[in-house]
Amino acid sequence: MVGPRRLLRLTRIQLVMLRNGVDDVVLAAPIFRPLRFLVIFMPWRWVRRKVPRGVRVRRALEELGPIFVKLGQILSTRQDLLPADVARELARLQDRVPPFPHEDARRIVERTYGCPIQDVFAHFEDTPIASASIAQVHGAQLHDGSEVVVKVVRPGIPAVIRRDLDLLHTAAALAERYVPDARRLHPVDVIREFEKNLYDELDLMREAANASQLRRNFENSELLYVPAVYWRYTGRNVMVMERVHGLPISDIEALKAHGIDLKKLAERGTEIFFTQVFRDSFFHADMHPGNIFVDPTRPTEPRYIAIDFGIMGSLAPTDHHYLAGNFMAFFNRDYRRVAELHVESGWVPAGTRVEEFEAAIRTVCEPAFARPLHEISFAQLLLRLFQTGRRFNMEVQPQLVLLQKTLLNIEGLGRNLYPDLDLWTTAKPFLERWMREELGPAAALRNIRKQLPEWGDKLPELPNRIDRGLDDLASMRAELHRHCQEMEQLRREVDRGNRRVYAAIAGAALIIAAVLSHTGEGTPEAWADVPPATWGLGGLGLMALVLALPWRR
């Protein structure tokens, strides 16, 4: 039921969309096709719009608030489903929202710690360093002199999230019900996953745990530095981390001014991505330019600095192997294997004709391979493959959406740093090495070492387990023998029953035949004239009926 508050929110959404001229995008949906004639009654449609529709969509989402900004960021990763101009513009959404008052930030911090803010921090900066849709960040100094940043969740944001998610769930359910093409995309599941990610971002304890895990994965690494978490001062609404200083990854002029090796920086970004995905199965899934910095003190051996760990992705071992197999098949131009892997993994229906799917994949990939490698956009190639997959009813893989988004971000950052970046050449050796390590003898030995403690615990019980197993096997054989005897007895009973039925049928048939063969009127004189053959038929029938009686076993 649509209550007054929801109705008011829906009305405001409609007004924002109309004010920003997004009505043509709405009317493009199949569900609204019967209403397209209404455009003749819209005066603002009588003149040609000068602002591109992608810009209009982005502005509308920014005006509608943080939840719609986040949704736009997720949608920007589905460039295989959106018009290219709209997807490109949505990718520019960077959570640029006005900061909330510093008095609110101080109040939230004090409520979290249960004491005045000066008891915790020697200095707290009122002007925020950054302000995003879910939280904002302030600089501070601990009493021991440590420079830190304090991340504070926006006041009232949980209620805003609940209100808008309610509307998004309703819209997704309607789309899944009335728009046939939307069902394949599972909009209800997408919004449910979106909701999970949002609530995960609200819990700064979870983000702190993500940061600690990523820092552990790259401890003493030459590729990536992750700031330390101050757990003593971290709660659900407040998180305190080490303050780091670096050059924004998007400031190319500053990077050049510091002598940063841009080619090596771009290649290391690719290596970081594949290391996170395939080695650790735990990757930073929000790698837009605002969250990535470069250490200026290492120009010849550049190192990345990552912040904002609210959105992290992970993959199951099966996804690992399918992805690695797909990547290697692409690199080796083995389109048949790509098609087979899609069917084996369930990404396309089991009844898909592999030959047809292989031909479609070849049509997409061959033109790309005809170009110089540094001109090939691997992310864009994947997008075209997703578009091809739609023709074969390829379903959206929720576990791969974040991976796709991250790959797009990584390649975009790398090409911005070094336009001639060859993602293929950088990635192929890493994947070959990973597959050797995961599928070769070293992987088998590693798995054995991992299982040794468990085997050591079970080894003393092994004789008793074997003895019990042998006893159970003997019992099972005896039970099986008994069941076989019972089945044989039942089979014999069924055979005897069948023979009695056959005898009864035959006897009754003979008696009926004898009666029908006698045409007399039933007098003694008539019965005296019955031929002996008739009496013989009747006698045989009577004998058969007697033999069919159930007393005979």
- Active-site residue list: 286
CA distance 217 to 70: 27
Q: Please, are residues 235 and 205 in contact by the beta-carbon 8 Å criterion?
A: yes
Instruction: Find out whether 412 and 292 touch, Cβ atoms under 8 Å.
Output: no
Instruction: Produce one character per residue of 260-284: b if its CB has 16 or more CB atoms within 10 Å, e if not.
Output: bbbeebbbbbbebbbbbbbeeebbb
Using CA atoms, how far apart are residues 95 and 98, in angstroms rounded to an integer? 9
Cβ-Cβ contacts under 8 Å for 137 (sequence gap 6 or more): 128, 129, 130, 131, 149, 150, 151, 152
Question: How buried is residue 299: exposed, middle or buried, by Cβ count under 10 Å (0-12/13-18/19+)?
Answer: middle
The DSSP bridge pattern shows strands 304-306 and 292-294 to be antiparallel
User: 3-state class of 271 per DSSP?
Assistant: helix
> Rounded to whole angstroms, how far apart are CA atoms 54 and 60?
10
- 52: phi then psi, degrees, rounded to nearest 5: -60, 150
Q: Which residues pair with 138 in a beta bridge?
A: 150
The whole-angstrom separation of Cα 222 and Cα 227 is 14
Task: Report the b/e string of 369-403 with b at 16+ CB within 10 A.
Answer: eeeeeeebbbbebbbbbbebbeebebebeeebbbb
Give the residue among 280, 268, 278 at the shortest CA–CA distance from 224. Answer: 268
CA–CA gap between residue 491 and residue 485 (Å, rounded): 10
DSSP code string of 471-529:
HHHHHHHHHHHHHHHHHHHHHHHHHHHHHHHHHHHHHHHHHHHHHHH--S-S-HHHHHT
In angstroms, rounded to a whole number, what is the distance separating the alpha carbons of residues 406 and 412? Answer: 10
CA atoms lying within 13 Å on the CB side of residue 432: 9
Burial profile 147-163: b = 16 or more Cβ within 10 angstroms, e = fewer: ebbbbbbbeebeeebee
Q: Among residues 161, 173, 157, 166, which one has the least CA distance to residue 6?
A: 166
User: Which is it for strands 121-124 and 130-131: parallel, antiparallel or unpaired?
Assistant: unpaired
Say how many Å lie between the first and final Cα of the chain, rounded: 74
Ranges of H-type helices in 65-156 = 66-75, 84-90, 102-113
Structure tokens that stand for 224 in this block: 């990536």
Token output for 462: 């092994």
